[in-house]
Chain A
């Protein structure tokens, strides 16, 4: 790695660590609310798993997949959703930042404003909840009546990372919308609801929605394709096109962010 890039990466890592430490302290100020929040998250996961368990007992096949295979789609969705919520929580505070003119202070700092807006406020509650989520998902995966070959697992990991790139692009698009319209909340909640469609394989939806979810708003490439790769079933979108969508959407969102920043006019400070 070139020395300049290494120094930059170390500096950003140090800044992120400082921001994460601040977030931890902030979280522990409101202990009661946070415990209730974690309880809510646990109930949500527990109820969904209970539903899937009952589903398995009553239904043998779902949209061409066995119920064990449906679990893999659900787990892939849960992990991508949980990781992105943990890392990109700052996006949910961007509306306030824009409306109060606080983005001005971010722009004056010798750091990328995108970095600070995107990952500058990690969600400690979600980070804590990520641990039991991964453990539970791992336990479920180990008990499924499925065989995961090393090749499929490697491909899954690569496509999973590609899914995270797409999720990153979605969050950058939300920031762009925030700069242009001063509101990120609407688009973020829309993204969350749309991504929920991938809780189950996107192939269950009829055309043209399936086409939209694979190629225009690529929730399907983000969640369904990695799960299909792990299961060894035929991919709805080829590996090459999936990576093209992942890398392309990220590059496009970065370009959009630069363009949007040029239109930014401070609200007030």
Chain B
């Protein structure tokens, strides 16, 4: 069984490098986004002092971490899942002697591995350019950080599957997807940290799974969370993975019963 998934990983990895120009452009776009945020905050703190309860060093570290986490957590191979399902391309996955979710999961992991390869070089470049002062957390916090990142990767996988499920009934998923990515842009903290927003907005955002994708990990790494907050966030991960996992199982079960693929 493992060999089958390893083969899927290998093929997905190679496929990821088939369109090299697109890959380089994609990474360049991610770099521009991180560069904009890093420059914005460097200029803001150029005259010294602190603003928004962050100093220059903590803010640069925050943006630096968020840039890395966004590339790991939010990168997905399932962007075109809606079209794959609606056009009947899902049949190819269904006839394979593999669990369909396992098949997508391995594809997603291969895509992230490919992105991480680039992150190494990009991180070195930004480190040289902005010279952030990164204070590493103690080992136990570091381990919890890695667990949260893994949980966030899985959370994003479930969200991608849910958006993909639109394809069982309609080819129109771009509206909700656009809304989701707009919300992600702000709530994942790519341009600014969530805790600079007014309290009411922060509370509203914490009622969604969005801050669990990248924001809370940065706060843990920078040791800006109290113990009760850390426990609450752990429970938040369990809650959202359970809820979204159940929704994926239910909606995909319903979708697969309705699924037809004429001409495939």
Contact = CB atoms under 8 A, between A and B. Distances in A.
Interface of A: 30, 32-37, 39-41, 43-44, 47, 50-51, 54-55, 58-59, 61-63, 181, 183, 186-187, 189-190, 193-194, 196-197, 199-200, 204-205
Interface in B166-195: 172, 174-176, 178-179, 181-183, 185-186, 191-192
Interface string B119-148: 000000000000000000000000000000
Contacts of A41: 182
User: For the complex, would chain A's binding face be called helix, strand, loop or mixed by DSSP majority?
Assistant: helix
A190 B21 CA distance: 12
B197 interface: yes
B128 to A, nearest CB: 13
A37 B178 contact: yes
A43 B52 contact: no
B175 A34 contact: yes
A226 B26 CA distance: 30
Interface of B: 21-22, 25-26, 28-29, 32-33, 36, 39-40, 43-44, 46-47, 51-52, 172, 174-176, 178-179, 181-183, 185-186, 191-192, 196-197, 201
Contact of A194 (B32, B46, B52): B32
A37 B51 contact: no
Contact of A196 (B32, B52, B172, B178): B32
A194 B33 CA distance: 9
Given A37-B174, A37-B178, A183-B22, 17 more contacts: A32-B172, A33-B175, A33-B176, A36-B179, A39-B179, A43-B186, A44-B182, A44-B185, A47-B186, A51-B191, A58-B51, A181-B21, A186-B25, A196-B32, A196-B36, A197-B32, A204-B39
A33 B172 CA distance: 7
Nearest to B53: A58
A190 B46 CA distance: 28
B29 A190 contact: yes
Contacts of A39: 179
14 contacts: A36-B176, A37-B175, A39-B179, A43-B183, A44-B182, A44-B185, A50-B201, A54-B196, A59-B44, A62-B44, A186-B26, A189-B25, A193-B28, A204-B39
